[in-house]
DNA sequence: GTAGGGTTAG
């Protein structure tokens, strides 16, 4: 492996003309004003027959329902002489009343009066309000209850509202409904549906929407293509996404930053830095500056691929060139530094961000606390945890797991147990990571029965165990000479579809050797080699020793030969013990075999 | 857009 390419030439990190993020006007904003225009238009329409007294009554009613919590019981007597079921009056009330909840309550209250039948105008008004307030579920049940036919424009806004609330199937139904009504949905709505699907990573919906668009002969724009590029990235079809982007660029269009960012993120992950660099250059050339999110992807991608030095270099260059890293970027960088165990630099960044007025959030706290635990800075970790709790970030599953794992790593088992109990009191449900930390922490320190207990609890909670749930326990049982129980756990693990760790194989072989059961040890070695798993040097050596001790010289030499072929360097004492054995036995045949093996290993 | 495990190679 050569050095990582220095792809960030000066050109790529341009001094940001406006380091503050670009604010992209969201579609929903436009929808909202569109929705209001509609309502006001409707109101104007029946304003024609409106009399002054109606407006005055409406004001009185509005006043009462806004100020009296239980107005439903008194409204009739409070304002005598009003015909509440007169559409002019109640529509005027709905118009005046900006509070969605009160509007709905008033609507239902009027509905409970005799002689009332909802008219489409008021239904549409209530429905629009609910959509505007993003109350998707309320809007949906209102629609089902009243069974009125909303304005197509309102239904379009409703689609966005449903998408934002994750009610994808319902949103697609509304698309169908508009299609049946012969209404052609605006590109804005198609695009916002696609955007929501991309955000929810529902790629299949993106493709469905796009094929519907084609079917209805709706021509997409550069935003549409941007969403398709992102969809390709989510599906890991980065090359196709990249090709599509290049096609749009050739025609002279430039998609939004997020399409570029997704591609950059994907190429960072696959380590294709030449493409990352090219994309950054393209962005700059097309006057679509890389923003803080773009560089955030780059730094995150580099940290993920353990190119943290490079990430730090870019992070510092960005600061030099006038960018202002935000909370997320600082957190990502501190995380990278903690992984490198560069706690000094991590601390420096921590204080730097605070000095700049950017305060650590629960992510930042967790990253640093975890780094402190992993480097044995126990006192500082505990202090920072206390500080985090004071800020109200202490009661998340992740913060508990960070602490429990950190305490376990540092042998503070009792404290870990206390926190585990505290979780139950706070109603935070432990997950596999919580249990794994405890199983490993206790088992590693020889507390096998506690380890066994936590594994048992994990399974009793119906959680799916992972490789790590069993590994240390099996290793420790083998070390303690309890190979039988280790085998039972092994079987349980395999039955549950969990892949045993390579090191667990090694542990089993060593355990069997210690028990004097070399023959079975050899069987396990055979299984390992057949599965192309690489045993540890120690495993081979222990087998050679035990085999020679059991006078199985032929097997011992076979194992020795195998390990040399796998490129291991054999410890001197192993050779010495073999030579001693051969001298004792005075066997010229094995001596010859041994000599040949040695010759070959020297030759290679 | 960021966090906890394990992963890896050393």
CA of A159 to C1' of B4 (A): 37
Q: Are A267 and A276 in contact (CB under 8 A)?
A: yes
- Both tokens of A353, joined, read 């961000």
Q: Are A581 and A547 in contact (CB under 8 A)?
A: no
CA of A472 to C1' of B8 (A): 18
Q: For nucleic chain B, give residues with Cβ below 7 angstroms from it.
A: A 199, 292-293, 296, 300, 326-329, 331-332, 335, 361-364, 366-367, 370, 374, 396-399, 401-402, 405, 431-434, 436-437, 440, 466-468, 471, 501
- Both tokens of A136, joined, read 């998707």
* Closest residue to B8 (CA, C1′): A306
pLDDT at residue A103 in the model: 82
Strand (E) or helix (H) holding A507 = helix A502-514
Q: Which of strand B's nucleotides are less than 7 A from any protein C-beta?
A: 1-7
Which nucleotide has the least CA–C1' distance to A472?
A: B6
* Closest residue to B3 (CA, C1′): A363
Q: Are A8 and A278 in contact (CB under 8 A)?
A: no
pLDDT at residue A160 in the model: 86
Which nucleotide has the least CA–C1' distance to A400?
A: B4
- The DSSP result for A339-360, as a single string, is HTT-HHHHHHHHHHHHHTTPPP
Residue A292 to residue A299: CA distance in whole angstroms: 10
* Closest residue to B1 (CA, C1′): A293
pLDDT at residue A51 in the model: 78
CA of A331 to C1' of B3 (A): 9
Which nucleotide has the least CA–C1' distance to A261?
A: B1
* Closest residue to B6 (CA, C1′): A468
CA of A125 to C1' of B3 (A): 44
pLDDT at residue A383 in the model: 96
CA of A479 to C1' of B10 (A): 25
Which nucleotide has the least CA–C1' distance to A334?
A: B2
CA of A397 to C1' of B4 (A): 8
Which nucleotide has the least CA–C1' distance to A469?
A: B5
Which nucleotide has the least CA–C1' distance to A360?
A: B2
Divide the 604 residues of chain A into consecutive groups of 10 and give the mean pLDDT of each group.
36 47 32 39 57 82 86 85 80 81 83 76 86 87 88 89 86 90 91 91 92 92 95 92 95 93 89 88 89 90 87 91 92 95 95 96 97 96 96 95 97 96 95 97 96 96 96 96 96 95 96 95 95 93 93 92 88 83 74 72 60
Residue A523 to residue A532: CA distance in whole angstroms: 14
Length of chain A: 604
Residue A533 to residue A535: CA distance in whole angstroms: 6
Question: Which residues contact residue A323 at a Cβ distance below 8 angstroms, ignoring those fewer than 6 apart?
Answer: A13, A16, A19, A292, A295
Q: Please, which contacts does A362-367 make with residues 24 or more away whose CB atoms are closer than 8 Å?
A: A362/A388, A362/A393, A362/A396, A362/A398, A362/A399, A363/A328, A363/A331, A364/A327, A364/A330, A364/A331, A364/A334, A365/A391, A365/A393, A365/A399, A366/A398, A366/A399, A366/A402, A367/A331, A367/A334, A367/A335, A367/A338
CA of A538 to C1' of B1 (A): 45
Smallest CA-to-CA distance from A197 within A168, A226, A219, A157 is with: A168
3-state DSSP assignment of residue A3: coil
CA of A354 to C1' of B7 (A): 32
Q: Are A140 and A172 in contact (CB under 8 A)?
A: no
CA of A386 to C1' of B10 (A): 35
CA of A537 to C1' of B10 (A): 15
Which nucleotide has the least CA–C1' distance to A21?
A: B1
pLDDT at residue A123 in the model: 85
CA of A360 to C1' of B3 (A): 12
Question: Which residues contact residue A347 at a Cβ distance below 8 angstroms, ignoring those fewer than 6 apart?
Answer: A368
* Closest residue to B2 (CA, C1′): A328
Chain centroid, CA A541 distance in Å: 43
Residue A79 to residue A221: CA distance in whole angstroms: 55
Q: Are A268 and A300 in contact (CB under 8 A)?
A: yes
Smallest CA-to-CA distance from A432 within A463, A401, A397, A467 is with: A463
Which nucleotide has the least CA–C1' distance to A292?
A: B1
CA of A444 to C1' of B9 (A): 23
Which nucleotide has the least CA–C1' distance to A291?
A: B1
The 10 Å Cβ neighbour count of residue A289 is: 17
- Both tokens of A67, joined, read 């100020």
CA of A268 to C1' of B8 (A): 18
Smallest CA-to-CA distance from A345 within A371, A306, A382, A381 is with: A371
């Amino acid at each position: 492996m050569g050095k990582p390419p220095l792809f960030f030439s000066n050109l790529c990190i341009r001094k940001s003309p406006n380091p503050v993020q670009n604010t992209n006007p969201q579609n929903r904003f436009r929808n909202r004003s569109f929705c209001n225009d509609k309502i006001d238009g409707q109101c104007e329409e029946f304003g024609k027959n409106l009399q002054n007294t109606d407006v005055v009554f409406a004001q009185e009613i509005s006043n009462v329902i806004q100020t009296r919590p239980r107005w439903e019981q008194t409204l009739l007597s409070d304002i005598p002489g009003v015909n509440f079921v007169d559409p002019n009056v109640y529509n005027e009330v709905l118009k005046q009343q900006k509070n969605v909840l009160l509007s709905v309550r008033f609507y239902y209250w009027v509905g409970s009066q005799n002689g009332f039948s909802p008219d489409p105008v008021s239904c549409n008004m209530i429905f629009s309000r609910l959509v505007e307030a993003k109350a998707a579920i309320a809007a949906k049940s209102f629609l089902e209850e009243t069974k009125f036919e909303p304005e197509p424009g309102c239904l379009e806004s409703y689609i966005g509202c449903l998408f934002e609330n994750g009610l994808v199937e319902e949103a697609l139904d509304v698309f169908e409904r508009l299609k049946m009504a012969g209404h052609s949905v605006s590109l804005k709505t198609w695009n916002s549906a696609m955007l929501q699907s991309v955000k929810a990573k529902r790629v299949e919906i993106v493709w469905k929407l796009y094929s519907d668009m084609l079917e209805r002969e709706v021509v997409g724009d550069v935003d549409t293509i941007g969403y398709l590029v992102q969809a390709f990235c989510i599906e890991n079809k980065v090359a196709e996404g990249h090709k599509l982007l290049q096609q749009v660029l050739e025609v002279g269009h430039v998609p939004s930053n997020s399409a570029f960012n997704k591609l950059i993120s994907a190429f960072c992950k696959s380590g294709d830095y030449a493409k990352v660099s090219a994309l950054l250059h393209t962005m700059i050339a097309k006057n679509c500056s890389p923003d803080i999110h773009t560089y955030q992807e780059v730094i995150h991608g580099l940290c993920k691929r353990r190119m943290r030095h490079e990430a730090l270099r870019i992070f510092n260059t960005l600061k030099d060139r006038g960018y202002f890293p935000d909370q997320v970027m600082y957190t990502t960088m501190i995380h990278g530094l903690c992984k490198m165990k560069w706690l000094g630099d991590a601390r420096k960044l921590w204080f730097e961000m605070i000095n700049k007025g950017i305060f650590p959030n629960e992510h930042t706290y967790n990253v640093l606390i975890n780094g402190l635990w992993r480097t044995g800075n126990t006192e500082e970790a505990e202090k920072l945890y206390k500080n985090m709790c004071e800020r109200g970030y202490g009661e998340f599953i992740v913060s508990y797991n960070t602490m429990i794992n950190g305490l376990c790593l540092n042998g503070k088992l009792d404290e870990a147990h206390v926190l585990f109990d505290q979780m139950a009191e706070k109603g935070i449900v432990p997950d596999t990571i919580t249990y794994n930390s405890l199983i490993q922490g206790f088992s590693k320190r020889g507390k096998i029965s506690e380890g066994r207990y936590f594994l048992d609890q994990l399974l009793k909670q119906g959680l799916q165990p992972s490789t790590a749930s069993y590994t240390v326990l099996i290793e420790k049982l083998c070390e303690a000479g309890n190979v039988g129980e280790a085998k039972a756990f092994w079987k349980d693990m395999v039955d549950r579809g969990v892949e045993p760790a390579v090191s667990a194989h090694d542990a089993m072989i060593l355990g069997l050797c210690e028990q004097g059961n070399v023959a079975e040890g050899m069987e396990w070695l055979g299984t390992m080699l057949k599965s192309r798993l690489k045993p540890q040097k120690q495993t081979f050596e222990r087998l050679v020793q035990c085999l020679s001790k059991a006078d199985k010289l032929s097997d011992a030499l076979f194992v020795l030969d195998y390990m040399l072929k796998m490129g291991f360097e054999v410890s001197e004492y192993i050779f010495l013990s073999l030579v001693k054995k051969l001298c004792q036995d005075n066997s010229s045949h094995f001596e010859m075999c041994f000599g040949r093996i040695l010759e070959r290993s020297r030759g290679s």
